[in-house]
Amino acid sequence: MRSIDSSLKVLDMDYIDLLLIHEPTADYLEIYRAMEDAYKAGKLRSIGVANFLEDHFKRLTGNCTVIPAVNQVETHIFRQQKNLRKLLNEKGTVHESWSPLACGRNGFFRNPILAEIGAKYDKTAAQVGLRFLYQQDIIIIPKLTHIERMRENFDLLDFELTEEEMNAFYVLDLGKSLFDWW
């Protein structure tokens, strides 16, 4: 609670739009309770979590009064989080992806399936990989330091992957982190 108040002071704001717990530390239920109080007091407009996989998310939602608005978790073509997404959809929590381009790991930008489907639509591997997430209503926050990449990553609303193409990506799911996270 003190941390929320000091952030508001530093930001010179009366409220924060969205505050997340970065990861499920041992005391996350207690932290979330403080966030719920701040939410009810109007200091936070929305509250959520990050890196909560199925077990932590179930425990949290079984012990809270405000369902998390967002869960930000590692999600890309090599880690698709299908089971977690089902659970998030059931609870009405938005699935947000971190590292939607897998940070280029595992040969992401040279992946032959992304390249082949991209060639059909005149799109890059990055655009196809982001579109795959976008079409599942997953929020994507790619990071970049080049303005041309920002333009490229925005330019994914003028094509749609078919069901068959979406299915072609499901085989790429390794079901584990590329970053030694959970």
Residues that bind ligand NAP (CB under 6 A): 22, 50-51, 72, 98-104, 109, 126, 141-146, 149, 152-153
CA distance 35 to 21: 9
Angle between helices 112-121 and 125-134 (to 10 degrees): 90
Cβ 166 to ligand NAP, closest distance in Å? 20
Tell me whether residue 44 or residue 133 sits nearer to ligand NAP (CB atom): 133
User: What's the CA gap between 150 and 99, in Å, rounded?
Assistant: 15
| Residue 40 vs 143, nearer CB to ligand NAP | 143
The three-state secondary structure class of 125 is helix
**In the complex, minimum distance from the CB of residue 14 to ligand NAP, in angstroms, rounded to a whole number:** 26
* Nearest distance in Å: CB 41, ligand NAP: 25
What span, in angstroms and rounded, lies between the C-alpha atoms of 53 and 72? 10
For ligand NAP, give the closer residue by CB, 21 or 161.
21
Give min distance, CB of 62 to ligand NAP, in A.
Answer: 23
When the beta carbons of 8 and 50 are compared against ligand NAP, the nearer one is 50
Q: What's the min distance (Å) between Cβ of 3 and ligand NAP?
A: 17
5 vs 55, which CB is nearer to ligand NAP? Answer: 55
Q: How many helices (H) and strands (E) does the chain have?
A: 8, 5
**What is the residue whose two structure tokens read 């089902």?**
86
From residue 147, give the alpha-carbon distance in Å to each of 70, 109, 144, 151, 154: 27, 18, 8, 6, 11
